[in-house]
Amino acid sequence: MRENVTIVEHPLVKHKISMLRDKNTGTNEFRKLVEEVTMLMGYEALRDLPLEDVEVETPIETCMTPMLAGRKLALVPILRAGLGMVGGMLALTPTAKVGHIGMYRDEDTHTPQDYYCKLPHPIDDRVIVVMDPMLATGGSAEDAITQIKKQGGTHIKFMSIIAAPEGLDRVSEAHPDVQIYVGQLDRCLNADAYICPGLGDAGDRIFGTV
Ligand code: PRP
Ligand code: URA
C-alpha cells in the first residue's frame, strides 16, 4: 500500500502549508501560497521527465546539452480548488495544455457530482498531472482519474497539497499505476469529511466565497 505515493518532504513546503492552515491567512496570500507550494511540489512530481541532448551554440562553442524530450504535458485541475494550482505548474511548464474536470462534493453523501470534463485531444500521448489541493475521502480524485483513463489517458500523476490517510489509501489502491504527490499527510477526516487539522474549504479560501 502507498507504493505509488510520495510525500514531499521539503521545509519550504511544510512552512507554506502551515501558513495555508492559518485561518487568519487572507484570500490574496492564500492564493499565492497555493501557487508557491504547487511549484515546489511540481519540481518533485516532474523529476522523471525525459531529457534528450540537443545541439546549442553558446557564446563560447557548440555543445550537446539536455532539454526536455518526448511526451508533452497536460495539466488537469479539478474544479474549483484545483484551479488555484494551475499557475504554479504553468510557471514550470509554460507550454502545457490545460484540461478541466468539474465536480463538487454532495454535502450529505460526500460523493463527487460531475458537471464538466474537457481534456486536451488527443490525451493518450501526454503526461497528465491532475491537481486538487485537498484529498479528503478520495472520491473526487478517484472519479477524476477514472474519467481521464476512459478518455485514453495512461501516464497520470496526481498532486494534492493536503491528504487524509483514508483518501490517500483509497486513490492509491484504486489507481496503483498513478503516481501520487502529497505535501502533507494529515490525521483524519471529521464527521463532515473535512480534513483534520486541514485548512478548511480550499475552494472557498481561494475564491473568497463562504
Ligand atoms: C473539495 C476539494 C476536492 C474535494 C475533496 O472540492 O477541492 O475536489 O472537495 O474531497 P474528497 O476527496 O472527499 O472527494 P469541493 O467539492 O468542495 O468543490 P469546490 O472545489 O468547487 O469548492
Ligand atoms: N474539501 C476541502 O476543501 N477541504 C476539506 O477538508 C475536505 C474537502
CATH number for the domain harbouring residue 61: 3.40.50.2020
Could you say which ligand is closest to the alpha carbon of residue 115? 1
Question: Which has the closest alpha carbon to 171: 122, 120, 99, 112?
Answer: 112
- Give pTM, 2 decimals: 0.96
pLDDT tier for residue 210 given thresholds of 50, 70 and 90: confident
Give distance in angstroms: CA of 95 to centre of ligand 1.
27
Cα(98)–Cα(178) distance, integer angstroms: 19
What is the CA(58)–ligand 2 centre distance, in A?
Answer: 49
Q: How far apart are CA 61 and CA 58, in angstroms?
A: 5
3-state secondary structure of 142: helix
Q: What is the mean pLDDT of residues 192-205?
A: 98
- Nearest ligand 1 atom to alpha carbon 202: 7
Q: Do residues 134 and 162 lie in contact, with contact meaning Cβ atoms separated by under 8 Å?
A: yes
pLDDT at 1: 72
Phi-psi label, residue 198: left if phi above 0, alpha if psi -120 to 50, beta otherwise: left
Domain count, the chain: 1
Residues with CB under 6 A from ligand 2: 81, 134, 136, 194-195, 198, 201-203
Residue located nearest, by CA, to atom 4 of ligand 2:
201
Residue whose CA is closest, atom 5 of ligand 2?
Answer: 194
Q: Which amino acids bring their CB within 6 angstroms of ligand 1? A: 78-81, 104-105, 110, 112, 132, 134-141, 167, 193, 201-203
Beta bridge partners of 197: none
Return the percentage of the chain with pLDDT > 90, whole number: 97
The parent domain of residue 106 ranges over 5-207
Mean pLDDT of the chain: 97
Average pLDDT over residues 118-126: 96
CA of 111 to the centre of ligand 2 (A): 12
3-class DSSP assignment, residue 31: helix
